[in-house]
Structure 1
Amino acid sequence: MTRLVDDCFALSSEMISAATALRQIGRAVRRVTEPEICPLGAAGGRILAVDVMSPRQVPPADNAAVDGYAFAYADYKAAPELPRAVVGRSAAGQPYAGEITPDSLVKILTGAVMPEGFDSVAMIEDIRSQDDKIILPIGLKSGANCRKAGEDIKQGQLLLEKGTYLRPQEIGYLASVGMVSVSVYRQIRVALFSTGDELVNPGDPAFDSSIYDSNRFILSALLRSFGCKVTDLGILNDKLDIVRPALLDAARDHDLVITSGGVSMGDEDHVKAAVQEIGQLHFWRIAIKPGRPLALGQIDNTAFVGLPGNPIAALVCCLKFIRPLILRLAGRTEDAPLSYQARAAFTMGKKPDRTKWLRVRYSPKDNAVGTVEKFPTDGSGILSSAVWANGLVELGDAVTQINEGDLVTFLPFSELMR
């Protein structure tokens, strides 16, 4: 197994920007998974472990792009209005195997192999009949309505590169050259738990002092959307003799351990103490909102992340920092989420020298730049704001004021959650 560099998350205690944190993740984290063979039908959402070369060309032979009549262009050019005899029929999977004669035609259906010696097709709706013969339309060009062998894929060409995330279209691409299995990286194994004496599981009795644990369910769904295999360790009692062995057990057979809540610089907290005792732990003071110091470390060769306890802070930190960390661990070629320009439908001020993410709802406009509306309140515990929103607006370090109508950067949740 590829190992992380020892103490790879060590960083200065000074405040850093979001961009610096992302660059450090890119430098410090590397793939920890191994290749395995997966049936093609089960490979959707997996990450390609090798470069794939095509074993055949696609299409394998010239074929018709439309229903019509196949002909030799040289014959047609010499006598375009000549009535021509139809000598046979070619259908997909049932090519015409008979002889052809000068100035003859073969009726052909879409996808059928072109008869040998024929290179063009007249669409069936454009021809004229005369007695038992066919007259082709004037003005046809050589190669009309004919798909050439190999015009999509050449034999031996590079189809997909190592590190490619396999979407449905990539699965179909591989199937089109006859592949039945593919080498992919093993899925990242993530152990996930929550801490906090106030937390209870949904379905358990709750008191006024109780909070149902939503973070674990948010994070579990997110991690699965990133292609991880998640082990839900539930809620751990915040006692050192419980936390220490639980962390060690989780680290033994997982690539990443994530907790939310209870790990911050000022807490007398047993998760923090346990990680520091059995591994390394570093607090990244990132100039962001929502969020607070992000705890990153290692237990043996397993990465550890401590996320904030507030659900919006945990959600945003997972989308912006844990997602790229996981892609690196998994061997996936990182494709930056797409963002869009939109016009603010709000006015607000912002403190300088930190990045802020707003929960917003984007509305498209016909033939114009869309607009984004901001949720009325910014609290990191207001989960309804994320349900209402369809993305985030990112306000960079230098921004101090946004006025209605200003262009801002919109990040759709659909881009961040893949």
Structure 2
Amino acid sequence: MSCCDAPNLMPIEDALQHMLSGIKPIQQSVELKLQDAIGFVLAEDLLSPINVPPFDNSAMDGYAIRIADLEKSDTLPLAGKSFAGQPFEGNWPADTCIRIMTGAKIPAGCDAVIMQEQTETTDSGIRFTNQKVKHNNNIRPVGDDIQKGDVALAKGARLTSRDLPMIASLGISHIKVLRKPKVAFFSTGDELKPLGQPLEEGQIYDSNRYGIKPLIEKFGCEAIDLGIIPDNPETLKATFERAQSEADVVVTSGGVSVGEADYTKDILDEIGQIGFWKLAIKPGKPFAFGQLDNAWFCGLPGNPVSAFITLYVLVQPLLAKLGGHTEWKPQPFIPAITKNGFKKSPGRTDYQRGIYTIEDGQFYVETTGNQSSGAFRSMSLANCFVVLEQNRGRVEAGETVQVQMFSSSLY
């Protein structure tokens, strides 16, 4: 008896543990130009080759002073200027000040910068209206942000638009990253029709690939779209063989339930070790996972919402581990008060689609309406999942539930 025939449903946590236990991160690395590295995962710790800033500099537009000089007089003649990229050079006479701009190098001997808003220009020089100045006031010391030899970013971090400017500030133009996992995907079913063609009796448009591709790419992987494959054993097997020759992971939508035309199970028994599960998740019970000869396999259900949610909840952590993204974490759960009831029967963890709001610091959530696994508008309208526990029953208005806000991959 296969897992698919087992009377008990596998909890999501057990399924994830089983999936992730055999995954080993990709070790192949490539060197890229910094501007091309966004979305890639660091292959090694990034050590800073320099101090940032490389010299003491001013945090304000104002005047560089020596506190001992200011203690003698509240007015100091101007001795020169220090601009960013044009530092003050030469001798700095006693009992004078230097005009300085934000980011400019601090002149030797300066122990404070006074912002220009606390000064007045007079015939005798610059008058300082605030003489209670602390040492190193408004001075950013060398290495204040990053010191030479520091781990600026750890191995396993996925590079974002927030990281690239920081790396550039270190003068690093090329970076060593892991190659992205390759994910081949296709839809199965004679009923599926490509966009742009008229529907015939009993046909529907293939919408799943339009959700799968962007999610795979936002997960930090390379997506290989193999299109729509009809319910034909020879064609399906050839497609699987091609997919596993080109990719690290093969993802299908449809063909993993128990219908008479679901040939996927038989084909995969020939070319891999596959465990088909009935998972305790709603929507998405008919989810499959296993290993082909040369790739991992994830079989998503055919219903659009089921395919989308199982890809997000189950396949995303697999791809993160495969891609070496050690900092990946699922979105946290947040308690929220329901504004309406939610239909629910015990037995499966239910990912219903909701809309959360915050009122006076309290999270509230309401349903997006039709929660059918074939009604994708519920996903389009939502901004969170309402995650109802496996053993929980119907939820009434005013009860507390757990919501999981969408990650950036869903935007």
Same fold (TM over 0.5): yes
User: Equivalents in 2 of 1:347, 1:253: separation in Å?
Assistant: 47
Corresponding residue for 1:399? Answer: 392
2:152 aligned with 1:129: no
SS across alignment from 2:162: helix
The answer to whether the 8 A contact 1:357-1:394 is kept is yes
- 241-250 vs 18-27, greater mean Cα deviation: 18-27
User: Equivalents in 2 of 1:130, 1:204: separation in Å?
Assistant: 80
The answer to whether the 8 A contact 2:75-2:124 is kept is no
State the shift of 1:341 in Å.
2.8
Change (3 A) 1:103 1:336: farther
State the shift of 1:339 in Å.
3.7
The answer to whether the 8 A contact 1:261-1:307 is kept is yes
Equivalent residues in 2 for 1:161-180 (5 A)?
Answer: 161-180=154-173
Which of 183, 191, 194 matches 1:201? 194
Change (3 A) 1:156 1:55: same
Change (3 A) 1:103 1:401: farther
Which of 364, 369, 384 matches 1:376? 369
One-letter identity of the residue aligned with 1:43:
A
One-letter identity of the residue aligned with 1:84:
L
Change (3 A) 1:266 1:205: closer
State the shift of 1:416 in Å.
5.5
Which of 301, 326, 329 matches 1:335? 329
SS across alignment from 2:407: helix
Corresponding residue for 2:205? Answer: 212
User: Equivalents in 2 of 1:164, 1:115: separation in Å?
Assistant: 38
Which of 40, 48, 51 matches 1:57? 51
State the shift of 1:271 in Å.
2.2
User: Equivalents in 2 of 1:284, 1:311: separation in Å?
Assistant: 19
2:16 aligned with 1:44: no
SS across alignment from 1:340: strand
- 204-213 vs 61-70, greater mean Cα deviation: 204-213
SS across alignment from 2:38: coil
The answer to whether the 8 A contact 1:165-1:332 is kept is yes
2:361 aligned with 1:360: no
Change (3 A) 1:11 1:379: closer
The answer to whether the 8 A contact 1:36-1:184 is kept is yes
Q: Which runs of 5+ in 1 are unaligned?
A: 1-9
The answer to whether the 8 A contact 2:57-2:103 is kept is yes
Corresponding residue for 2:103? Answer: 111
Runs of 4+ in 1 over 3 A off after TM superposition: 10-14, 265-268, 414-418
State the shift of 1:265 in Å.
4.3
One-letter identity of the residue aligned with 1:188:
P
1:149-183: CA deviations, max 9, x gaps? 11110110111111101111111111111110111
The answer to whether the 8 A contact 1:265-1:283 is kept is no
Change (3 A) 1:267 1:327: farther
One-letter identity of the residue aligned with 2:309:
V
User: Equivalents in 1 of 2:376, 2:400: separation in Å?
Assistant: 26
User: Equivalents in 2 of 1:198, 1:82: separation in Å?
Assistant: 86
Corresponding residue for 1:98? Answer: 90
One-letter identity of the residue aligned with 2:404:
L
User: Equivalents in 2 of 1:49, 1:337: separation in Å?
Assistant: 24
State the shift of 1:75 in Å.
3.2
1:221-280: CA deviations, max 9, x gaps? 111111221111111122121111221111012111111001124545222221111112
State the shift of 1:12 in Å.
11
The answer to whether the 8 A contact 2:82-2:88 is kept is yes
State the shift of 1:26 in Å.
2.8
User: Equivalents in 1 of 2:394, 2:230: separation in Å?
Assistant: 44
The answer to whether the 8 A contact 2:4-2:278 is kept is no
Corresponding residue for 2:300? Answer: 307
1:180-215: CA deviations, max 9, x gaps? 011111111111111111101001221131100000
Corresponding residue for 1:288? Answer: 281
2:207 aligned with 1:223: no
1:55-74: CA deviations, max 9, x gaps? 01111111111111001224
User: Equivalents in 1 of 2:61, 2:398: separation in Å?
Assistant: 52
Q: Which runs of 5+ in 2 are unaligned?
A: none
- 401-410 vs 188-197, greater mean Cα deviation: 401-410
What's the TM-score once normalised by structure 1's chain length?
A: 0.92
Q: How many residues align?
A: 407
Change (3 A) 1:416 1:371: farther
2:72 aligned with 1:67: no
SS across alignment from 2:135: coil
The answer to whether the 8 A contact 2:231-2:261 is kept is no
1:65-106: CA deviations, max 9, x gaps? 111100122433x42x34212111000111111211222211
User: Equivalents in 1 of 2:4, 2:56: separation in Å?
Assistant: 60
SS across alignment from 1:107: strand
User: Equivalents in 2 of 1:39, 1:11: separation in Å?
Assistant: 47
SS across alignment from 2:17: helix
Which of 237, 240, 249 matches 2:230? 237
- 374-383 vs 268-277, greater mean Cα deviation: 268-277
The answer to whether the 8 A contact 1:337-1:415 is kept is no
